[in-house]
Amino acid sequence: MLKVIDRHILSLLVRIFSIALASLLLIFWSLLVLRYSTLISDNNQVLSAVVWTCIVGLPMHVSYFIPIAVAVAAFYTIKKLHQEKSLLGALSLGYKNKCLQKQFVLFGCVCATITLIFTIWLAPLSARAYYTRLNILKADRLLLYTEPKTFIRITSNSTIWIEKKTSDSSMQNIIFDIKDKNSQILMVARYGKVLRTEGGVMLEARDGAIWRKDGAQLHIINFEKFLYGFEALITPKKGWVGRLQKIWTRDEVPSTILFQRVAKADDAKSSKKELEIAYLSRRELMLRFAYPLLPLIFVTIVLAICLRLPLRAMPKLRGPCVFVAIIGYSAAHISAVTISSQGGIATFFVFMLSAIVFATSLLISSKR
């Protein structure tokens, strides 16, 4: 009988979790498609290319929605058990809170493992493929904006003029002018081509010269090949979806390379730049290893709140209390990761915080 109750609880958790996660991902994916739909009109791209790019980038966002879906599944499972009187009947048959805790904690551990797989392995691969495809979609903008024998301002500080352009992304007789606060650069080249790279859109110029003016000094450099990247051509991240994506976006560097950078910085001969790179790598690794703790912690927080005797008599307060507790812990978790990102003994702070909250929540939820 008790095994039947355990299977019923786990099936409820899995079903509600699957529906919640699929709904969140579908909403976010739809917003991504709408956000980049301007590439269809601006860059003459097809809808299928935009849709596939957003599909490729979806795994890099999955890990951020798993904890939310876990919290929703845990809360509504307990709510449904209370509404159906299933939990009350199971407790009267000898089913203990510890058995209920076991099912929820097991479910939280599985979700934490899935989140870890995404943050460590799948998300960086997805991020690299996503940004590569996005840059390719945006690369045509340079050719679309340029017209032969017309000065075109392509960024806030650069202007380009070409005599002729062909269908294979090639240009002939280019004049490229770049201005900033300290200097002015004028480039003249016989041939040019737009390159689509992982780092973004680049202009490759061949057989030309560069005039660089710094104050009263003029420098002239002849070149056979010159590469210039157009970071400003990347569409700015506007709106709340863009801000969320900017905050949530995972680094596309594989975890193995991050470990190598951290290990390399331990050398006494490390330069200042290597130490800075190691600091950023260590912080990214902390995020990747700390974030999977959230599903397990959210499950125990929901248990602690929904199984407390006072709240069992006031079901309307469960939802607001769960929301406030999860938001509060998330803020503490993010602060702990930020503080402990420098490494050393301080890195254990975030894991100690999670362990304390986990043990406390289980202790509270075990009380009848």
- CA–CA gap between residue 133 and residue 197 (Å, rounded): 9
pLDDT at 84: 74
Q: What confidence tens digit (pLDDT) does each residue in 112-143 have?
A: 999 999 989 898 888 888 877 776 676 555 66
Q: Which of 72-86, 90-104, 110-124, 229-243 has the lowest mean pLDDT?
A: 229-243
pLDDT at 88: 62
Judge whether residue 267 has pLDDT over 70.
no
Pairing of strands 183-197, 200-214: antiparallel
Average pLDDT in the 257-282 region?
75
Q: What confidence tens digit (pLDDT) does each residue in 175-196 have?
A: 888 877 677 888 899 988 877 6
Average pLDDT in the 36-44 region?
69
Query: Could you tell me what percent of the chain has a pLDDT over 90?
Result: 17
**What distances in angstroms separate CA 186 from CA 123, 161, 203, 291, 305, one per listed residue?**
41, 11, 14, 48, 66
pLDDT at 311: 57
pLDDT at 108: 94
Average pLDDT in the 78-102 region?
74
HSE value, Cβ hemisphere, 13 Å, CA-based, for 267 = 11
Judge whether residue 255 has pLDDT over 60.
yes
